Amino acid sequence: MRRVVRETRVHAAQLVLPMFVHAGPEPRPIGSMPGVQQHSIGTLRRAAVEAAEAGVGGVMLFGVPARRDATGTEATDPDGILNRATAAVVAEVGDAVVVSTDLCLDEFTDHGHCGVLDDAGRVDNDATLERYAEMALAQAEAGSVLLGLSGMMDGQVAAVRDALDAAGRTDVATLAYAAKYASAYYGPFREAVDSQLTGDRRTYQLDPANAREGLREAALDVEEGADVVMVKPALPYLDVLRQVADSSPVPVWAYQVSGEYAMLEAAAAHGWIAREAAIAEALTSIVRAGADAVLTYWATEVAATLEDR
């Protein structure tokens, strides 16, 4: 009876798997995220196949480069790790899942910020948009069909959309990280991408106290042409997610971030929480709050257990 009258159901196609890849020949475990690793291209391909066979809707790729500089040169290098990995995954599972890529400079810069810095050490919004446009074309050429604009620069959606359209790439969609908060829950992710950041990103990510600002950012991204908007993190911002979902004319996604993953895994490892039940409850709450899809590091594991796959 409970199953028949259930109001919210999580489907495998709603789950998107974030994946990290580095240039080395062997995968490297991420200590703060048990079960997650920096893949080699070989293990990335195998993990992508496993995800596709489990029925996940998509993968989101993050590159961990061997070299970094002030402007993130490797981000636009066709032979850079993210672009090579994207081509490899598209060749493997591009017909089965949506292959998306993180479009941001933070992994590729030697200062760890999401944009180009000016002479005073501040993020230069407009100079960064030029780099984002170049990244968009490089990622589209590598085969990405959905670009994850996670840098939170003003005007980033319009800049990327204009660049794609001018190049005739109307086949490539944009996922705007619209309400991305300056959160303490990103800590393990910094290890996952070997971040070089010192300081914080509060000048361009949102204040955790502000819900209306998140709604305004989402509306602006839709006006600029975003095909999907994102709320990040997920569980601490379910109220924002609900409000964005109620007002958005485009699909709304949420990112269950590294800190959310690490906390639950740590509690489960100590026997303080029922792991599988807590994972299912957390994902259900995110979908119940209005997410049309969820980026989660448990995507493959959970998708394999769902009845609809």
Catalytic residue IDs: 180, 232
Rounded to 5 degrees, what angle do the CA atoms 188, 29, 39 make? 100
Distance separating alpha carbons of residues 40 and 196, to the nearest angstrom: 21
Cis peptide before 25 (omega within 30 of 0): no
Distance separating alpha carbons of residues 54 and 43, to the nearest angstrom: 16
* CA dihedral for 111, 113, 118, 120, sign (positive or negative): negative
What are the beta bridge partners of residue 151?
none
C-alpha torsion 254→68→182→11, nearest 10: 10
Q: Is 170 exposed, middle or buried (0-12, 13-18, 19+ CB in 10 A)?
A: exposed
Q: Are 54 and 14 spatial neighbours (Cβ–Cβ below 8 Å)? A: no
* Half-sphere exposure in the Cβ direction for 161 (13 Å, CA): 16
Among residues 25, 34, 9, 28, the alpha carbon closest in space to that of 298 is found at 34
Distance separating alpha carbons of residues 50 and 210, to the nearest angstrom: 39
Distance separating alpha carbons of residues 215 and 27, to the nearest angstrom: 39
